[in-house]
């Protein structure tokens, strides 16, 4: 789903052999399902996620039907699809040197970020596990559903501030497919 997709997201998935169909952000869920996708990626995009809640509604309708991966705005919309809330950061996360800790692996990644909103931890349901957090301000940088094939990251894994540090996320999405 194209909310303002970066070209390198497309390139990253294509490099893994994925056949892609890019649909506008306001595409109805049934129209997406009619393509019989193996999975759906909710892309990054600009602005307040509350201005794109139609994307959260679509994601909600897709949950449990196909694997879902959200990046940046897509991360915020997936959180919203599960009833989570977002807030405006006092200072946005901008640039290519933001340390993010992968809570599952105990590893720190240097990430590229470009967003002004974040997910409120206290608004999340128990079925969403926080997988990544910002070491700068403690905000949520990644989520995963405890049972369903749904995950997301706030940062941009398609951008490589290091040697393809976060490309593993595309491989994880591919494995879910």
Q: Which residues are catalytic?
A: 72, 156, 158
Helices within 16-162 (DSSP H only): 29-34, 53-62, 73-81
Report CA-CA distances (Å) from 65 to 111, 155, 167.
30, 25, 25
Give CA–CA dist 159/85, Å, rounded: 26
Inter-residue contact 156 to 114 (CB < 8 Å): yes
| Residue 55, token pair as written in the block | 């994307």
Inter-residue contact 77 to 68 (CB < 8 Å): no
């Amino acid at each position: 789903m194209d909310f303002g997709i970066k070209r390198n997201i497309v390139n990253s998935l294509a490099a893994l052999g994925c056949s892609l169909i890019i649909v506008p952000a306001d595409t109805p869920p049934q129209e997406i399902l009619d393509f019989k996708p193996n999975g759906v990626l909710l892309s990054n995009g600009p602005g307040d996620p509350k201005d794109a809640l139609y994307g959260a509604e679509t994601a909600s309708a897709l949950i449990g039907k196909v694997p879902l991966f959200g990046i940046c705005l897509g991360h915020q919309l997936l959180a919203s699809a599960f009833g989570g809330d977002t807030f405006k950061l006092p200072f946005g996360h901008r640039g290519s040197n933001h340390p993010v800790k992968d809570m599952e692996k105990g590893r720190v990644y240097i990430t590229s970020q470009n967003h002004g909103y974040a997910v409120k931890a206290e608004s999340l349901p128990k079925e969403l596990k926080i997988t990544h957090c910002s070491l700068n301000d403690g905000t949520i940088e990644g989520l995963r559903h405890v049972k369903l094939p749904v995950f997301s990251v706030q940062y941009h894994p398609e951008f490589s501030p290091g040697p393809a540090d976060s490309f593993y996320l595309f491989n994880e999405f591919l494995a879910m497919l």
